[in-house]
Amino acid sequence: MLKNDAWIREMCRKHGMIEPYCEKLEAKGKISYGLSSYGYDIRVSDEYKVFTDVHNCIVDPKNFDDRSFVDIKAPSCIVPAHSFALARSVEYFRIPREVIGLCIGKSTYARCGIVVNITPLEPEWEGHLTLEISNTTPLPAKIYSNEGISQLIFLEADKECEISYKDRNGKYQLQRGVTLPRILTKEK
């Protein structure tokens, strides 16, 4: 079942599901963030990894080359045309065992050709959310740090899963900062 604002509020206050947590939707002069009717609008931090072709690297998730991107820490980020950036949420998450969160893009950015990849927040996953921000337009696009970037919706299962993300020692468990792709090379 889709969870509402009262449930999200209680989970944040009693269990620290989202930290920092914003009780109401902040929207004046900003791209909105905070608690909404059936979700929570998260913010993008001021840390970005913007992809570049300067070194003519191949983007390979099994052998990721750090020369594929430029690190930026700033009040905003320009994502080049037909390119993308990785960023992280301001918020840190602790997802309950019987819940999955889905990250979907905000309409304000979508209307500008900016797409935030749909990402699941699995049961008992914990960490900062790494966001993939794609600019689908032929023009550079501006992303505003510490403002809304996407919305999370929470779905509760009718019963708990047998094995959670935490149980299987997921490779992105407890991630901090912008986290690059990881491939497990041996059993944990």
| Residues assigned a catalytic role | 132
SS (H, E, C) the chain: CECCHHHHHHHHHHHCCEECCCCCCECCCCCCEEEECCEEEEEEEEEEEEECCCCCCCCCCCCCCHHHEEEEECCEEEECCCEEEEEEEEEEEECCCCEEEEEEECHHHHCCCEEECCEEECCCCEEEEEEEEEECCCCCEEEECCCEEEEEEEEECCCCCCCCCCCCCCCCCCECCCCCCCCCCCCC
